[in-house]
């Protein structure tokens, strides 16, 4: 019985003191399409927003790794920021208008690649 209390009490305390809140920091990696270092800058700049502490896009893996605050942003918003800048992610397709406005060499859907 005493042992049970020893186990339950700390759990109860954790529950009361914000265990239910999401953590302040989370890191996610997902697919985001791009062609070159200009795309890298564009994607990373699009993620230069409050609540995002780190964003790194990699051409070789066509993926972006983002450290953000889940209390301020939902993961889908990260996808939206990238899509608005003209780049497809695994969950959100870029707006046509934004894609058309990309420089020719950044038109990743045609398999184009800029010289870096």
In terms of CB distance, is 38 or 84 closer to Cu ion? 38
Give the number of other Cβ atoms within 10 Å of residue 45's Cβ: 12
Q: How many residues bind Cu ion (CB under 5 A)?
A: 6
Please report how close the Cβ of residue 86 comes to Cu ion at its closest, in angstroms: 9
Under rule CB under 5 A, residue 113 binds Cu ion = no
Please report how close the Cβ of residue 115 comes to Cu ion at its closest, in angstroms: 10
Please report how close the Cβ of residue 24 comes to Cu ion at its closest, in angstroms: 33
Under rule CB under 5 A, residue 106 binds Cu ion = yes
116-to-40, 42, 49, 112, 113 alpha-carbon distances in Å: 11, 14, 26, 12, 9
CA distance 66 to 76: 12
Site stretch for Cu ion (CB under 5 A), options 1-9, 31-39, 54-62, 76-84: 31-39
Please report how close the Cβ of residue 13 comes to Cu ion at its closest, in angstroms: 51
Torsion sign (Cα): 92, 31, 83, 54: positive
Our CA angle for 37, 43, 44, nearest 5°, is 90
Under rule CB under 5 A, residue 82 binds Cu ion = no
CA distance 76 to 86: 16
Residues of this chain that interact with Cu ion (CB under 5 A) are: 35-36, 38-39, 106, 114
């Amino acid at each position: 019985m005493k042992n049970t209390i020893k186990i339950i009490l700390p759990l109860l305390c954790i529950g009361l003191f914000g265990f239910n809140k999401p953590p302040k920091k989370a890191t996610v990696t997902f697919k985001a399409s791009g062609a070159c270092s200009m795309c890298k800058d564009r994607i990373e700049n699009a993620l230069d927003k409050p609540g995002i502490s780190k964003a790194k896009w990699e051409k070789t893996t066509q993926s972006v790794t983002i450290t953000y605050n889940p209390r301020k942003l939902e993961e889908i918003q990260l996808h939206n920021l990238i899509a608005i800048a003209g780049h497809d992610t695994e969950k959100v397709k870029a707006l046509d208008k934004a894609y058309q406005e990309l420089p020719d060499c950044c038109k990743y859907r045609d398999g184009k690649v800029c010289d870096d």
